């Protein structure tokens, strides 16, 4: 839910004008889609059909990588928020995205 909130808040701004928000969009959208795929996999119990895959290890690596990349996205997003933005709603959305990505 927070991943959806991050990329929807950033997408609602003029993020294409700032290169830093491209990274935030990539991380949040990529991991949101991957989380949906894992959710559907477990919902349909497909993980039992692919018993040769060590699912606990896959999920541990996924969560470790997601944590590191979300931390970099948080730092990038927080550093790029400027309170002197010419559009106040961009500032509010970017600040909220920064808090949500943490």
Write out pLDDT tens, residues 59-82. Answer: 999 999 999 998 898 888 777 766
CB 83 within 8 A of CB 91: yes
The whole-number average pLDDT for the span 3-19 is: 71
Residues 12-39 pLDDT 10s: 766 666 777 788 888 888 998 999 999 9
Alpha carbon 54 to chain centroid, angstroms: 25
What percentage of the chain reaches a pLDDT higher than 90?
31
Residue 91: pLDDT over 70:
no
Closest of 85, 84, 72 to residue 15, by C-alpha: 85
Residue 28: Cβ-neighbour burial (10 angstroms; 0-12, 13-18, 19+): buried
Domain ranges (residues) in the chain: 1-49, 54-101
Instruction: Give the pTM.
Output: 0.73
């Amino acid at each position: 839910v927070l991943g959806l909130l991050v990329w929807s808040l950033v997408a609602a701004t003029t993020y294409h004008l700032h290169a830093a928000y491209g990274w935030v969009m990539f991380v949040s959208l990529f991991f949101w889609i991957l989380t949906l795929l894992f959710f559907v996999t477990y919902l349909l119990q497909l993980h039992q059909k692919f018993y040769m895959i060590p699912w606990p290890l896959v999920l541990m690596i996924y969560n470790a990588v997601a944590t590191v990349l979300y931390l970099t996205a948080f730092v990038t997003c927080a550093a790029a928020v400027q309170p002197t933005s010419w559009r106040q709603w961009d500032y509010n959305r970017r600040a909220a995205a920064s808090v949500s990505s943490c």
